[in-house]
Amino acid sequence: MNVLDAKNAKLIAERSDPAAAQDWWRGAVIYQIYPRSFRDSTGDGVGDLKGVLEGLDYVTELGVDAVWLSPFFTSPMADFGYDVADYCNVDPIFGTLSDFDHIIDKAHRLGLKIIIDQVYSHTSDQHKWFSESRQDRTNPKADWYVWADPRVDGSAPNNWQSVFGGRAWSWDTRRQQYYLHNFLRSQPDLDLHNHEVQDALLEVGRFWLDRGVDGFRLDALNFAMHDPQLRDNPPAPRDGRQFTRPFEYQLHIYNQSHPDIPKFLERIRKMTNEYDGIFTVAEVGGAEPLDEMKEFTANGRRLNSAYNFSFLYADKLTTSLTKSAVNAWGGKNEEGWPSWAFSNHDAPRAVSRWADEEYIARAAKLYAMLLMSLRGNAFLYQGEELGLPQAHVPFEALKDPEAIVNWPMTLGRDGARTPLPWKNTAPNAGFSNAEPWLPSDPRHAALAISVQERDDQSTLHFVRKLISIRKNILSLRCGECAFVEGVDDLLAFYRIANHEEALCVFNIGSKTQAWRPLSEQRFKRIIDVGFNANDKGLPEQLPALSGYIAVRQS
């Protein structure tokens, strides 16, 4: 048995603990793979499923519990896979269904779960359902999408705005009607008030569950139903914020967050309950997502978990943001289980949003330690384990339609989607022999996996240690959370499970903070950032961007 196989065997053995098998996802660490940018096996400059297959050993070594695969379905790629043209097939640019089956087989042999996206709010305009629906007003799928007559003056049915800019309605000459698209005009919205549409989507879910997937991330879920009366959205209050797109000028009362969405989720839960150990998590956007997240995960009859953009879109990490986000999930009234993500394919990388360039290396470790300390599931985005900063992508190389429309007012999404650097000495940092679909940032080559593997002080080794600690300490994985009142940028909380207790302390600011817990007896520091590794006591001074996790010794 080689060294890698030995490591994998050890990880698999750890995951076979019967106690952990119940609700495997509770407290799980889930690694997000964005296939286009993970690994290119064919030399065309685009990552693919065979590249994912090759990279599963690396992911297994991280110690994560599961992989979330971003879309790989048949698509014209106007929104890079979130515009689905065939829910039950693989786009040729990524490979074949057989390639996906090999991923499932290998992942399960390695002890990894596989979660995939499901995009139920809209399809591509090239989906066969839409092609049929737009033919006339009487065909069998005529009511599968959101169609509406124009106003008497020929204008759009109401004032709803698209997330990507412009009105959320486009005219179709054949039907002499407008169709709704909350995103690109090539992403028409399904009408989920129609139970035939719900039935068809549930069959899509069964297709993938029968192939062995372990769960779903439900994309843009609160856009899944609209107000049938098509009432105008009211204007958003002008509270001093700078709006960068028309979508932000409205309160989205009527084009999203319909109260019937949870009923559809109960149908999804009933379907997933037909299989063993399935995990479901909702993406919930919006300015006030908490109530909706609670609704989507309530009573054990809907989804298991939900996450929002509290951290993903935050310009600054603060103690108040962290405490309010975590305290909102107290575990009462049969509420669901929270999930957290600091970075993903939809948001600029956290280290570039929250830390100055000169402190990124240290900040990457600190933020990873905070993510692994929070009560809930931790989503780790590819490259986050390397401390990758947001890549610079020049305007002429941008691919993301949102980034192009809003340039230069936002960082855009392309800078978080550039290729993962595997080997610093290889062309394109080892991602591909061909020119990548997005350019590799030269700064990323210095942070390549090959470089960090050789450095036991690297972010990569640190994150592996963090995940191992979380896995082996029950209180960190699924214990309760009790915050300690701190000052300024000092964030401190206990994680408690049974008789086990962990203390997590972070100085997320730029100034030294003086702080010690009231009771520090029998606490031992087990991992830290910014301190002398030989001293395992609890420090009185916390330097800028420093922190530690300590456990109470019995």
Query: Which tens digits make up the pLDDT trace of 422-454?
Result: 999 999 999 999 999 999 999 999 999 999 999
Which among 40, 125, 219, 346 is annotated as catalytic? Answer: 219
In angstroms, the Cα distances linking 263 to 86, 147, 224, 273, 539 are 25, 22, 12, 15, 51
- pLDDT of 4 reads 37
Same domain, yes or no: 314 and 416: yes
- pLDDT of 538 reads 87
Instruction: List, for residues 473-503, the tens digit of each pLDDT value.
Output: 999 999 999 999 777 899 999 999 988 899 9
DSSP for 379-395, written as a single string? EEETTGGGTPPPPP--G
Tell me if 163 is assigned to some domain.
Answer: no
Same domain, yes or no: 227 and 257: yes
Same domain, yes or no: 199 and 340: yes
Per the structure, how many domains does the chain have? 2
Backbone phi and psi for residue 363, each to the nearest 5 degrees, phi listed first: -65, -35
CA–CA separation, 453 vs 26, rounded Å?
29
Same domain, yes or no: 383 and 497: no
* Residue 6 scores a pLDDT above 50: no
Tell me if 104 is assigned to some domain.
Answer: yes
CA–CA separation, 272 vs 214, rounded Å?
10
pLDDT band for 22, please (50, 70, 90 cuts).
low
pLDDT band for 239, please (50, 70, 90 cuts).
confident
Tell me if 186 is assigned to some domain.
Answer: no
Last residue of a domain, one of 422, 444, 470: 470
Instruction: List, for residues 244-264, the tens digit of each pLDDT value.
Output: 889 999 999 999 999 999 999
DSSP for 92-121, written as a single string? TTT--HHHHHHHHHHHHHTT-EEEEEE--S
The dihedral sign for the CA sequence 142, 148, 150, 155: negative
* Residue 51 scores a pLDDT above 70: yes
| Parent domain of 63 | 3-123+194-470
- pLDDT of 501 reads 93
Tell me if 17 is assigned to some domain.
Answer: yes
Averaged pLDDT for residues 184-205: 98
3-state secondary structure of 335: coil
- pLDDT of 520 reads 62
Last residue of a domain, one of 412, 440, 470: 470
Tokens 């960082």, residue located = 411
Instruction: List, for residues 360-402, the tens digit of each pLDDT value.
Output: 999 999 999 999 999 999 999 999 999 999 999 999 999 988 7
* Residue 183 scores a pLDDT above 90: yes
Contact 447, 462 (CB under 8 A): no
- pLDDT of 518 reads 75
Same domain, yes or no: 439 and 534: no
Residue 274 annotated to the active site? yes
Tell me if 136 is assigned to some domain.
Answer: no
Reading the block at residue 466, the tokens are 């963090």
DSSP for 275-296, written as a single string? SSS-EEEEE--SSS-HHHHHHH
Same domain, yes or no: 273 and 317: yes
- pLDDT of 243 reads 84
Which among 210, 239, 274, 315 is annotated as catalytic? Answer: 274
The torsion angle over the Cα atoms of residues 327, 331, 336 and 337, rounded to 10 degrees, is 60
Tell me if 213 is assigned to some domain.
Answer: yes
When the pLDDT of each residue in the chain is averaged and rounded to a whole number, the result is 92
Instruction: List, for residues 95-114, the tens digit of each pLDDT value.
Output: 999 999 999 999 999 999 99
3-state secondary structure of 63: coil
Same domain, yes or no: 370 and 291: yes
Q: Closest Cα partner for 504 from 347, 407, 375?
A: 375
Q: Closest Cα partner for 94 from 66, 78, 75?
A: 75
Tell me if 177 is assigned to some domain.
Answer: no
CA–CA separation, 220 vs 509, rounded Å?
33
Last residue of a domain, one of 470, 497, 514: 470
Percent of the chain whose pLDDT exceeds 90: 81
Same domain, yes or no: 250 and 324: yes
CA–CA separation, 62 vs 464, rounded Å?
5
Tell me if 285 is assigned to some domain.
Answer: yes
Question: Whole-prediction pTM value?
Answer: 0.94
Tell me, what CATH number does 509's domain have? 2.60.40.1180
Same domain, yes or no: 433 and 489: no
The DSSP H or E segment spanning 337 is strand 337-341
Backbone phi and psi for residue 87, each to the nearest 5 degrees, phi listed first: -65, -20
Contact 177, 149 (CB under 8 A): yes
Tell me, what CATH number does 29's domain have? 3.20.20.80
CA–CA separation, 260 vs 270, rounded Å?
16
Same domain, yes or no: 522 and 459: no
Same domain, yes or no: 276 and 379: yes
Same domain, yes or no: 336 and 422: yes
